[in-house]
Structures are given as C-alpha cells and as structure tokens.
Amino acid sequence: MVGGGPDAFIGEVHRQAARMNGGIDIVAGNFSRHGKKSQETGRMLLLDPARIYSSYEQLAEKERRLPEGIRADFVSIVTPNNSHFPIAKTLLASGFHVMCEKPMTFTAGEARELQKLVASSGKVFGLMHNYTGYPMVKLARDMVRGGDLGEIRKIVIQYPQGWLASPVERKGSVQARWRTDPAQSGAAGALGDIGTHCENLSEYVTGLRITHVCADITTFVKGRRLDDDANCFLRFENGARGILHVSQIAIGEENNLAIWIYGAKKSLEWHQENPNSLHVKEPDGPVRIYRRGNPYVARLSTAAARATRLPFGHPEGFIEAFANVYRNFTDTIRASAALKKADPLARDFPDVNDGLRGMLFIDTVLESARNAEKWTPMLS
Amino acid sequence: MVGGGPDAFIGEVHRQAARMNGGIDIVAGNFSRHGKKSQETGRMLLLDPARIYSSYEQLAEKERRLPEGIRADFVSIVTPNNSHFPIAKTLLASGFHVMCEKPMTFTAGEARELQKLVASSGKVFGLMHNYTGYPMVKLARDMVRGGDLGEIRKIVIQYPQGWLASPVERKGSVQARWRTDPAQSGAAGALGDIGTHCENLSEYVTGLRITHVCADITTFVKGRRLDDDANCFLRFENGARGILHVSQIAIGEENNLAIWIYGAKKSLEWHQENPNSLHVKEPDGPVRIYRRGNPYVARLSTAAARATRLPFGHPEGFIEAFANVYRNFTDTIRASAALKKADPLARDFPDVNDGLRGMLFIDTVLESARNAEKWTPMLS
Amino acid sequence: MVGGGPDAFIGEVHRQAARMNGGIDIVAGNFSRHGKKSQETGRMLLLDPARIYSSYEQLAEKERRLPEGIRADFVSIVTPNNSHFPIAKTLLASGFHVMCEKPMTFTAGEARELQKLVASSGKVFGLMHNYTGYPMVKLARDMVRGGDLGEIRKIVIQYPQGWLASPVERKGSVQARWRTDPAQSGAAGALGDIGTHCENLSEYVTGLRITHVCADITTFVKGRRLDDDANCFLRFENGARGILHVSQIAIGEENNLAIWIYGAKKSLEWHQENPNSLHVKEPDGPVRIYRRGNPYVARLSTAAARATRLPFGHPEGFIEAFANVYRNFTDTIRASAALKKADPLARDFPDVNDGLRGMLFIDTVLESARNAEKWTPMLS
Amino acid sequence: MVGGGPDAFIGEVHRQAARMNGGIDIVAGNFSRHGKKSQETGRMLLLDPARIYSSYEQLAEKERRLPEGIRADFVSIVTPNNSHFPIAKTLLASGFHVMCEKPMTFTAGEARELQKLVASSGKVFGLMHNYTGYPMVKLARDMVRGGDLGEIRKIVIQYPQGWLASPVERKGSVQARWRTDPAQSGAAGALGDIGTHCENLSEYVTGLRITHVCADITTFVKGRRLDDDANCFLRFENGARGILHVSQIAIGEENNLAIWIYGAKKSLEWHQENPNSLHVKEPDGPVRIYRRGNPYVARLSTAAARATRLPFGHPEGFIEAFANVYRNFTDTIRASAALKKADPLARDFPDVNDGLRGMLFIDTVLESARNAEKWTPMLS
C-alpha cells in the first residue's frame, strides 16, 4: 500500500475491505511521505519493519527484488490525487498489479498515458469506484442492460454531502485540507471527489455513454479554491437526458448518493444510504422493493448474487461493496497469474478506461462551466 | 363555478375543498360548454336549475342581476388554460371575485392584462397554487424567511409524474388530451402543468426571485406536441443556485413534488406525498422531523398553526391544503365586503402577481430551451 | 348534532367530513349542555337560532315536529361516552337515524339494549370507527377475505400514543380530563379510546372473531384513575394468534395505529400515519407497495375504489376516511328512505353490532386484567 | 474454530468479521464432524493441513501442545446448540479462551455449569449476541442508562422472520433442519434462536432485569417439532412492562429486529435493518434521528464512537457489529495476556452470565407457555 497513514481515512477502509475477503494480507507499505509516520502505521499493522518503506520508489525497488510468494502481489494507491500517476507508473514498471483510488490521475493527459502504460504492462489495474460493488447496483445494471426498463429516457443522479458547508479546511480537518487544495486534488473539488462517482455509476448501470454536458458549478464557501457544488445536465448517446448534481455544502446530507432511471417500460431507484433495497416501478402495478440476498434476486442477477455475502435481513453496507471490488480485482489477478482468462464476473470492476472516462468528464464539466454556450461535447 | 363538468378532475376537488371549510356553498355554475353536460353536473350538485348556465357569459350576466345575499359571491374557474383569461375578464367586469386554476392564462400577455384588470376592479383574485396551503410548507417558509437556515445557497425542487409515459392522450384519457394539446394548454406541457408549481413553491418558500434560467426540455412520447419533461438550472436574486426538474414520463412516480433548501446554517426537506413532516438538518446535530399539528410547530409558525385542522397523528393531505387556500381567499373577500383590511395571515394565498410570474417563467424556460446560450434572464 | 361545542375536538371533524361529501348539511344541534355554549357554536355554524337547542331532549322533541325535508334526517352523537346511550335511545325513539362516536356506550349492558332498540326502530345506526373508511384498509380486507394471504396465522395490531404521558388532565386539557374520568369514559381509558379501534380493525380486515384474550393493563401516570397502557394476546376463531397493544404514555407517538397480518401464503402491513400505501409480502418475491388511487387497486377492490376521492399522488388522509364512513351511512339512509335495499358497498360502515362487540371486548380485557389465569374467553 | 463447514452460515460470518479487525487470523479448525468436510473447508481457508482437525477433542489436544505464539489463542464455537457445552468445556480445560454462538448451551443446567467452569478457568468467554455490537445500540444503552429517557415504563421488542413459513426443513434446507430439530436445537425453536436475542438486547439496553413472563407460543407449520412463533409479556424489576414477540412464519419479514423504549421523559426506537439511525422522541419537540458516525454521537457515547469504523453516510451493517463484539473480546484477551485489567469499554461484550440468562429465559418462557396461570417468575 502507498498512502493510508495516521491522518488518512480511505487507506484503512482499503485494508479492512481487502482483509474481509480472506486470502489477502497486507505485507508491505509506504504509508506516508514522512518516514516516521510510515513506520508508525506499518508497526500498528504488525508488518515486518524491513518492509515499511519511506517512499514509494523504495517500496517498488525493494519489493520487486523479493522472491515471488514473498513480495507483494499488488499495490494499492490511496494517496491524494496529485501523486496517483507517478506512483502507478512506477509500480506498473516494477511489475506490480495496481489498485488505485479515484479520481485516477491529476490530469486527463496523465490518464491517457496511464491507459497506455497499463496496456503495455500486461498488469491488472483496478480503480476504486466502490459504489459499483453493491449487489443491488449490479441487479440494477443487469435489469437495465437486459432491457427490463425498455429504452432509457431519463437519469437523475445525485451525491449531496454537507461536510464542507463551512471552511473546515482552515480549522484543522486534514481530509478537507487536501481535498480543497488544487495542488493536491487537481482542478476539481466536489466534482472530482464525488461527481466522478456519479458519472461512473450512471454509465455503469446504463451502459450508455455521456455525449454532452451543460454545467453550473459554484464555490459557496468564501476563500475556497475549488468548487463545492456542481450541477450538470447530461445527454447520453441514445438521446436520454440526465441530471447530475453533487454538493459538499448541503448541510445535513451525509453520502446521499442516489440514482433514478426512467425507461419507456419501467423505472428504478437506488439509494446508497439504504443499499440493500432497489425500488422498481411499472406503469400500472405496485411498487416493488427488491431486497438483497433473496433467491429471486439471485435468479435475476448472477453478479448480484456473487456480490452478496450475508443472507437477507443482515444489512450489508459500504465495506462489503468495497470488498467486492477487491475480490473481483484479485480474482482477476489470480487468473492472470494462472495464465487463465478471468471469469467475466470477476472482470466486473472499474479499470483504467473508467479512470480516463472520469478525468475526461471532469475536464468537460470544467470547460462547460466556463462556456457561455449551453452544451459542451464530452472530450475524448 | 365555470368548468368542472362530468369528465373533469379538478373541479370536484375545488368543490370538496371549499365545502369542507363551512360557510361556502356552490349556488350556481356553468360546468361545461355543452349545456346538457352543464345541467347534468348542476343537478347532481342539487343546484337550482335556473342557476345552471350554458355559458360563462350567461352566468356572469344572470348572476350579477341577482340580489346580494343570493347571487354568487365569487366564481371559481376550473377550465382548460386557454379559456381562463376571457372568463376571468368577464367575471371581474361583472363584479365577481375570482378563484382561478393555474397556469393563470394562455399567454404572458394575457397575464399582464389580467394583472391590470384585477387592480382596477378592486376584486379579490386567487390563483390555485394549492401546494402553498400545506401547513408544513408554511412552516418551511417561516423558517427560511425568518433566517433560521442562514443565507440560502441551493434549492432543489422536483415534480416527477409518470402518467403520460405512453401516449394515453390517444387512448381516451380526457385529462391527457387537453393537457397535451397546445390549443388548450398553451405553449408548455409538463412545464406549464407542474413546472409552474415548482417555480411558485420555490419562490413562496424562500422569498427569493428567480433571475436566470438554463433549460433542457424534451418530448419523449412520439407524436406528442408539448414537452413531457423539463429540467432547469435556476439562479436566484441572492446568488443561490437552483435545480428544477419535472417530468410526466417518470414511470411509477405519482405526484412526487419535493423541495430541498440548503442554507449556510441549516437545511430542510419537504415531500408532498408525505406532507405532515418537515425534515430540518443542521451541521452537527441529529436530523429533526417536525410534525404537523404539534404545539412546537405552532410556536414557530402562526401560519402553519392556522392552516392545521386536525391534531397531530391524524394525517392531513391534499384536500386540506386546497381548502386552506380557499379559506384565506374567502376570509379576504369577507374582510373586503366589510371594508376591512384582511388579516395578513388571510392574505397568504397565491394571487394575480404569482400568476403573471408563472407565465413569465414558462416563456423564459421556453426561450432558454431554444437558446444555444446557457443562461436566459427571467422575462418581466 | 349532539355535542361538538367550543372545547370539543371530534365534533368539528364530523362536521368537516360530512360536509365534504356534498348533499349533507348541518341544520340543527345541541352542541353543549350549557345553553350559551351551544348557542355560540351554532351561531358560528350559521344555523337558524331556533334550531340551536339547549338539550338533546329538546332537539329530539322540536326537530321531530318539523316537516320532512326541513327536519334533520339524522343526528350525530359526539359527546363523552357516558351520554351516548340515553341520547341515542331518545333519538331513535323520535325517529332519527343516528351516527354515534365510539366506544358506543358506557356499559356492555347498554350496548345490548341499544342493539335491540336499533333493530326495533328500523332506523340506520352508524358507529364512527373511522379507520375502516380508509381505501387501503378496504383493499386489505378484500385481499384477506378473498383468500390472497391464505389461512391467517398471526395478527399484530398497535395504537401507541404519547399525549397522556404526563398528567395533562390536571393541567387544563379538556380532552384529557373527560377521557381519564371514569364517570365520563367508563371503566376503560386507553383501552376504550383506542383499544376498541384495534379490536374493530382487526376483526374488520380479517373477518375473524376474537375468542380469547390475555391482558396486561397498566396505569403509569400516578393519580390517574383509568388505564393508560394495555397489552393483549388474542386468539381468533380459526386458531390465529394476535398481539394488540395500545398506549397513551408512549412519548413521541402520535396516532401510530398499524396492523400486520401474516397468512400462510402472504402477509400485509398498513400504517395509519402513512395511509395511502399497503405493503404486501410474499415468500420469494419483492415487497409490493400498493398505492391508493391506482387502476390496479380498483381492479382488486371495488370498495377501495369507491372510497377513493383523489387520484394517486394527491395524499388523502384522516378526513376522507371519516367522510367515507359518513357517505356509506347516508347512502344507506337514502336507500332506506326510498324503501330500497342499500347497495352492499354502501352498507360497509360500522354499526350497532360492532359497537356491542367493542363493549364486550372492553369488559373481557378488564376481566382478563383482573384474572390470574392466562386466558379469558370473549364475553358475549 | 469448531464448526463452520461447507453447509454452515454463521461460521463464515465469524471468519469475515474477525478478519476485518486486523490482528486476528484463523490458524486451525475442526469445521465438521466429517473429517473430509473439515479438510475441505480448512484447505479453502489456506490453513496448514496439519491444523485441520477431524474432532474438537483432537483440536484441543493438538493445539494445546503447540508453542505459544503458534497455537490458537482462542477458539470460536459455531456448531448447533447441542454441542456448545461439551466443546466449550473441553476447550476451557485445555486453556483456550472461547467465543461461543448463542444460545449458549442445550440446557440451563449446562449453562450453570459453564458459568462455574469459566470462573475457575480464568479464561475469557464471549457469547455472540452480535446485535449488542451496533454503535447505535450502544448509544441507546448509554442514553437509557444515563437517565435521558427518565424512568423506563414500557419496552416493545420484536424479531419477526419469515423464512420458516413453510416446512423448508423437509425440502433440503440444512439451516432449517437443525434449527427445527429438538435434538440439535434444544427445547426451543424461534424462541431459542431469535427470542434470546430480544431478551438479551432489552436487558442490555435498559440495564433492567426481566422478573416475570407471560408467554403464548405456537407451532404453525404442521409436523414441525419446535415453536415457530412466540409472544411474551414481560415485567421488569422496576415495574416496567414489556412485549416481546418473535416469529419465523412472518412471511416477508427478513430480520426485522426492532426495539422501542418508552420512558417518562423521552422514548427511542431502533431497527436492525436500518441500523445507522436511532430515533429519539420527546414530549413537545421534533423527532430526532441520531445518525451513526457523527461528532454529536461521539460526544454522547464513547462506546458508540469506539464501535464506529466508517464516517457517517458510509452505511455500516451486520458484519461490523459482529466484528465489534470480536474486537472487544480480543482486546480483553490481550489485556488478560498482559496481566492487565481490560478497559471497561473493551469488556463490553456478552459473556457467560448473559448466556445463562438466555437459557433461563428460554426455560421460563416454556414453563409459562405450559402454565394456565398468567405470570411465571423468571427462573434463576
């Protein structure tokens, strides 16, 4: 692992999620750019002190020399956005599979280059768009792509949060500080952090590509240098219309990611904070609530069944979705190690192409926000 | 009453709502342009046959000659949009107070003229934006305008419906037929029918005026001549951002009108289909659900208390909100009859200015939809 | 109307509900035992002063002499429980149809006598168990009685309230005062006021009779003379088990009446505070939410459709359910006036037999509460 | 681990939950009484084949001889109820700490003996009443025990499930087979499996002991030999009343464990299927929804904060609660290894005393169910 030191949040989530799966253990890491902090975290994790590194270059260099079976099989990158690319590049070049936090890179240019590097490396590259790991998201995807909803007409997706409604980055919040700092986060704030989740989830579920964007983005908190609110109209390749809105100043909202998909025959609705249910609606019949873990769900979606760990009624949450992305990623690595083609169900995890797509989305939205014209075509 | 014959929907709602209040009774009407249908409805309502009219002109002419105390005090207009203006004009000229369905007129030009006619007539004119009649909407308004939420930053308002997801206007639905017919409805479909409710509600609750619109409107059902889906970004006079989206093709949605208002200090959320609750959120405290009919609500909002008919726990719904608009309207008429100034609480009902505002909103959105430019200033 | 004066709650509900229906108007009343208060309320209702009476005997005596078409067709009794019987007896004897609040009488003995009086009078007698008037309750009844759920196994019904959690009867609440006074309410407190609603609703929906009761009743507030909390196990004639629990000390609960019915094939769930939905569950399929006003509901239940006033999505509430009981009651009166047999759909309102049943339930529960034995057979 | 072979459910949950915590790894096991099945599971878990045992006696015997640091520190028992006691006895005698599934033993007699064995062994014994591990349950406990609700008056607790509504034990369900078999489960069915969770949770949250029980238990599915539905009235030591009802024939219910606690000052409500929220109600104020992971929760309950792994809005579920029980259990073992007194916060996990309490509850309820008398005192 690179990143995930004492002040981090997502690194520990990666560790818990990966561990849940079994057969995955953390063996080495560079947890901070500060050697001492890196040591501190590594020791807390009971790592061999020799494998707690003070830089990612050192990690790459030393680990690659260890014998197979001992050396790390893959490395997770959980640092701020600006360092994803150089770290990933180094790791791929050193022969490691890579799991990377989103947004994938600092710029779209880096993302394009990374796409090529992954292709030429032959390594497995995963991107942590964790929300695609929820079983009911997979059921939604299989229903939509299987045609149950008919032609898709309208998609509404939102991700309001409230934690940045005041300038907490100036009051000691480490999380807030790097996320609102253009030098670490890149050109986008809320848009990059949570807007890309919306872009990814809407394309993942529908299989439709966004072709045009019309954006209105705002920074509400004075002195903040990145957007904390972003609203977009979307057009999809089949003519479907979309609304995507995210915010970090929406007081009282936690992680209220939700998606509504309206087709010509049916519609559906899913809420991340109530992830074990999927609401499906039809023109002249009762609303149906599909509930995770039931046999009827398994009959409709093998992917949902595979992503299910507990029987119905035992609520699953964020960590299982996260762990599901890891499981598919590592199953694909194992297949690759065995020179086998991975099960298509295992290859169901976000990858470098999704990462590039996210970076292009950010750039398109930012361009649209500057444009006086209504519609900006999606960059490619 | 003008309109509200055998195939109508909203006319009967007006009658039930007005009757609930007590002290209001229907005494005369022209319920259809077809004399026979008008008679049919009038007799069902046990009216004096002599006061069941075959045209609104006849109603105006005959009723005005009846002695005070016998003749109708006010007339409700519940016809399709295209006839609102001529009917209202005739009734005002004949000395009647008028309650009118929304959207107020067929064109903004008519609305401007009606505004003048009302002013010169000295009569009371009410517009049936019924959603403003809900107690919890009044509580929301009093909290927002009283500054509880701090400076308003973002408003999200939606009104998805699904009943026009297929071309039911060609399958015998009378309601669908006139609402999708430009000759009867005007230039806007979903936008006029339910979009104006959103515009009205967002301005009612916040007291902020929309200054700019960016719209994306669509007709999804082939062969339909008016929009059945409309999405708008809004800018408000204080710099607040807004998203307004309505649809009539959102399968499974009933009347899912909902509003979220995010301020710098707090936020709130209200859902028309669950109207007895108002969710209020703050930065570091539990979510609060305010429930209609409780003493603590009355302490916060006299208007909410006045609009409350039943104790907490006995759910109130659509009809009470509707009746509340009527009660304030008729209380104002009574004050006017007594040459008194109406209680400000009674004057809390939508009027001709709101109606003009709605017509301007429609025209602005339609212009924006045609524009390649992102922002269109609100017409005036 | 008898009762419903200045301090009353339910009288005004009766008036609003009856008026909504159209074709019903209040023409006379004795609104209080205090002549002055009766006058005050009657004048507020714009009644002919000659028909505002100072006692129910006077009302019965004077109204009966008025010519048909002028005199009241029926009289609603909305006084405290202790006076229901003598008033009803007098009114029936004077030739009036009667609508009575629940619990029907002060004692089961009175109820038995009233049952005979109604039978011999040939008059229509309605009892205001208003919750049976909800459309989704009628759908539930039709589904259960139609066999959709299979053999009924278990019924859970609750009605928690919190408004009597402290001794408000000693702090000026008129409503609380008479409801906690044995001299006015009878032998039961929460049990009589809301427990009878549960008994009635469970028998109404299932068509099954309670045969045995095991009760635990408590008075939590010191100095209170009637129960404020009652819990019962029930046995039904088919062997089904039941749990019925009501409370008036359940802080924060408003009128949280809810019922769960579990059959051998399906189950259902309904909540009075969210009355437009009915949840239906099956062994291996999604939860279905049936929503009031939809065509598929009308296809399943003519009674539900008949009890529906507004299209789906326009929430109906307490007042419409109340008005539905009145409508069936008055339709039955009209049929009786026309010497016709009322439509079975119109005869769907609670009557004197339900009232007797309620009084027997109260007595059975009170006996059980005193018993050291577990099961007490339902009195008859 | 003992148990948790190929057909098991809860064993894998124990493994995932324990692993999430970090610092815990499974090193040995006897996963089935069938050596081959035990091997199969052990190999799937990548265990050293020498430490996959074919009986628990073998496991105890061989592991105890391994050097400290290599041998298992504790053993989890996840077998059917009838074998818990002999296994636990053997393991304690061999010097292992023990985590055991509930209900703790086959009979209350065994439970009493186990209580003594644990005391004399000096080992740490945990019982997997996992629902006590939820952060919002800990908040509820701290609020109730801290006096926020005032004197507790009434407790309603339920755990309806529907999975045994038909005789699935005769259609190949392994889970159903042993749970409905008196030889493996003991004298109680639903009562033992889920009723004990209710008993445990209500005493855990309130700190009040049940003193009397009045029970009505039923077997609805023909041919089944244990109860599948159990309803109880409870009396608590302070005079509070309770209703506890569980079912396995409640079609459509998953794991709908929920608790309502009504005090003289406030009340609260928690639902296991929506575990990140706790509803708190007061006499004249809005309903408050406390949400897991927020700073205001941490300020109210150190135990809730300690049991929280993810920030608010990232839903936690069943597995985290489970893992929290493990964490406190293992932290206590670590303290014990270091000859330290464990942090009181770490000692917050169900133990042998809770297990005995559960067995006594089962016996009391069964006795009450046989009794014609209403109340049966809690056995001790």
Q: What is the pLDDT of residues D329-375, one digit of tens each?
A: 999 999 988 888 878 999 999 999 999 999 999 999 999 999 999 99
DSSP 8-state class, residue D50: G
The H helix count followed by the E strand count for chain D is 14, 13
pLDDT of residue A24: 87
User: CB–CB of A315 and D314 under 8 A?
Assistant: no
Query: Most distant CA pair in chain A: distance in Å?
Result: 65
Q: What is the mean pLDDT of chain A?
A: 96
Distance of CA B103 to the CA centre of its chain: 7
**Phi, psi at B126, each rounded to 5°:** -115, 150
d(CA D75, CA D78): 10
User: CB–CB of B317 and C313 under 8 A?
Assistant: no
Which segments of chain B have a pLDDT < 70?
A: none
Q: Each residue of D218-241: b (16+ CB within 10 Å) or e?
A: bbbbeebebbbbbbbbbbbeeebb
pLDDT of residue C172: 87
B368 touching C (Cβ < 8 Å):
no
More confident residue, C341 or B350: B350
Q: To which residue do tokens 């050192």 refer?
A: A58
pLDDT of residue A366: 97
pLDDT tens readout for residues A167-223: 999 998 888 999 999 999 999 999 999 999 999 999 999 999 999 999 999 999 999
Cα angle value D72/D74/D76 (rounded, 5°): 115
Q: Which neighbouring-strand residues pair with A215?
A: A232
| Residue C290 with chain A: CB contacts under 8 Å | 286
Task: Identify which of C79, C226, C207 has the alpha carbon closest to the alpha carbon of residue C143.
Answer: C207
pLDDT of residue D93: 97
At residue D197, does pLDDT exceed 90? yes
Nearest to D281 among C241, C252, C375 (CB): C252
Banded model confidence at residue C324, pLDDT cuts 50, 70, 90: very high
User: CB–CB of D254 and A313 under 8 A?
Assistant: yes
At residue A25, does pLDDT exceed 90? no
The residue type found at B164 is L
Residue of C nearest to B292 (CA): C254
d(CA B310, CA B352): 30
Give this complex's ipTM. 0.95
What are the residue ranges of helices labelled H in C122-209?
Answer: 135-145, 174-179, 182-185, 190, 196-206
Q: How far is A301 from chain B (nearest CA, A)?
A: 22
A165 touching B (Cβ < 8 Å):
yes
At residue A23, does pLDDT exceed 90? no
pLDDT tens readout for residues D214-271: 999 999 999 999 999 999 999 999 999 999 999 999 999 999 999 999 999 999 999 9
d(CA B278, CA C36): 40
**Residue A57: other Cβ atoms inside 10 A:** 15
At residue D9, does pLDDT exceed 90? no
pLDDT of residue B122: 94
Show Cβ contacts of residue B114 under 8 Å, excluding neighbours closer than 6 positions: B85, B88, B89, B104, B105, B125, B352, B355, B356
C20 touching B (Cβ < 8 Å):
yes
pLDDT tens readout for residues D261-311: 999 999 999 999 999 999 999 999 999 999 999 999 999 999 999 999 999
Cα angle value A184/A186/A190 (rounded, 5°): 100
> What would the two tokens of residue B280 be?
């209020």
At residue C290, does pLDDT exceed 90? yes
> What would the two tokens of residue A26 be?
């953390």
**Phi, psi at A257, each rounded to 5°:** -65, 130
Average pLDDT, integer, range C129-151: 98
Banded model confidence at residue C8, pLDDT cuts 50, 70, 90: confident
Show Cβ contacts of residue A337 under 8 Å, excluding neighbours closer than 6 positions: A73
> What number of C-beta contacts closer than 8 Å exist between B and D?
30
> What number of C-beta contacts closer than 8 Å exist between C and D?
125
**Phi, psi at B193, each rounded to 5°:** -75, -45
DSSP 8-state class, residue B193: I
pLDDT tens readout for residues C9-18: 899 999 999 9
Find out whether B290 and B280 touch, Cβ atoms under 8 Å.
Answer: yes
Q: To which residue do tokens 């069902």 refer?
A: B44
pLDDT of residue A314: 97
> What would the two tokens of residue B250 be?
């959102």
Put simply, the chain D residues between 252 and 281 with a CB less than 8 A from any chain A CB are: 253-256, 272-276
Task: Identify which of A218, A224, A276, A212 has the alpha carbon closest to the alpha carbon of residue A246.
Answer: A218
| Residue B284 with chain D: CB contacts under 8 Å | 294-296
Task: Identify which of B335, B345, B350 has the alpha carbon closest to the alpha carbon of residue B306.
Answer: B345
Three-class DSSP category at D244: strand
Three-class DSSP category at B114: helix
Euclidean distance between the first and final Cα of chain C, in Å? Answer: 31
pLDDT of residue D313: 97
User: What residue ranges in D238-351 does DSSP mark as E strands?
Assistant: 241-247, 258-263, 267-271, 277-281, 287-291
The residue type found at C226 is L
pLDDT tens readout for residues A278-288: 999 999 999 99
At residue A158, does pLDDT exceed 90? yes
At residue A97, does pLDDT exceed 90? yes
Q: How far is D319 from chain A (nearest CA, A)?
A: 7
Banded model confidence at residue D25, pLDDT cuts 50, 70, 90: confident
d(CA A188, CA A180): 9
d(CA D172, CA B230): 54
d(CA C262, CA C272): 18
Please report all neighbours of D, defined by 3+ CB atom pairs within 8 A.
A, B, C
Cα-trace Rg, chain A:
21
Banded model confidence at residue C23, pLDDT cuts 50, 70, 90: confident
Q: To which residue do tokens 């093709």 refer?
A: B249
Banded model confidence at residue D66, pLDDT cuts 50, 70, 90: very high
| Residue A284 with chain C: CB contacts under 8 Å | 294-296
Q: To which residue do tokens 């009040």 refer?
A: D208
User: CB–CB of C296 and A289 under 8 A?
Assistant: no
| Residue C241 with chain D: CB contacts under 8 Å | 216, 218, 229, 231
Task: Identify which of C245, C244, C285, C281 has the alpha carbon closest to the alpha carbon of residue C266.
Answer: C281
d(CA B203, CA A252): 22
**Residue C151: other Cβ atoms inside 10 A:** 12
Task: Identify which of B185, B205, B200, B338 has the alpha carbon closest to the alpha carbon of residue B267.
Answer: B205
pLDDT tens readout for residues C73-114: 999 999 999 999 999 999 999 999 999 999 999 999 999 999
Task: Identify which of D370, D366, D321, D308 has the alpha carbon closest to the alpha carbon of residue D103.
Answer: D366
